[in-house]
A and B are shown apart, each in its own frame.
Chain A
Amino acid sequence: MTVYNDQTQPLIEYYREKGLLREINGDQDIAKVLKDIVEALEHA
């Protein structure tokens, strides 16, 4: 089964190589996702 070609993929590679990528697991409940985003930003 194919996946939709999300055009952000090249950007993900670009920012990963620059060491600027922060990954958040979006497959958790909403409050946890928000908490992880806030924490990632605070440590940026």
Chain B
Amino acid sequence: MLLDKNTKVLVQGLGKDGSFQAKKSMEYGTNVVACVHPNRNGQFFENKIPYFETVNEAINETGANAGVIYVPAPFATDAIIEQIDAGLDLIVCINEGIPVHDMVKVKSYLKGKKTKLIGPNCPGIISPELKIKIGIIPGDICNVGNVGVVSRSGTLTYEAISQIGDAGFGQSLCVGIGGDPIHGTSFIDALEFFEQDKNTNSIVLIGEIGGTKEQQAAEFIKKNIHKPVVFTIAGTTAPKGKRMGHAGAVISGKMGLASEKIKKLENSGAHYADDPSKIGETLTRLIKY
């Protein structure tokens, strides 16, 4: 399980955005047990959550088993490594702007460890049923339901969630895996989870131009996924070779093209929402009440 009722969250980096989001998570229902921020030892966040200097201290004192990172990019790699080293089960890194060379090292360090990393440059993860969110997905747009959502994007994930809601459905779990070329949890990890999860009846996958992660997802869907999958690919009209905000979204070479991804995913049996405003509509057509 990625999240369950025993999930105890540690927040690292409580600047303006981190504090705002930590508060929102607590209001949603997330069990935030510890904060890690330099030079605040002995103080309390929102008058109740203790601050610690290091992740190890925080875990020892509070039993935290999941971490979220809102640390500025120059220090974020150190925070990820610190949390992996401390042995957390789940780490969500919201920050963008981590150098790609650092992510090569992080992924190499992660090998053989039990920790699951989501992100960086992602909106995080939310379970409407458990009322737990780690990250920045707005809780009020989610409904309890049976659609699993996995996406490389942030706000486009919110768009998908709200379309699913408008179509009369809700979400079992939403995972934003992040827009960087090298990231932790992949489409495949999320798909594998959704296939096994008894609360998930169908899956929405949101891809983007650039890289070949969607093609890998397609291979996996073909072989292993028996639940219906709806997908869309953002950037079908993007010009070649230009970086569209997400570092991962440069179309370089034929493999990164939207058309390649769409072909492979349709071949895998997944259903294409041929424009990003038709995710809800495509899902409705697929699922009979």
Whether A associates with B in a native complex is no
Binding site for A on B (CB under 8 A): none
Residue ranges of A at the interface with B (Cβ–Cβ < 8 Å) = none
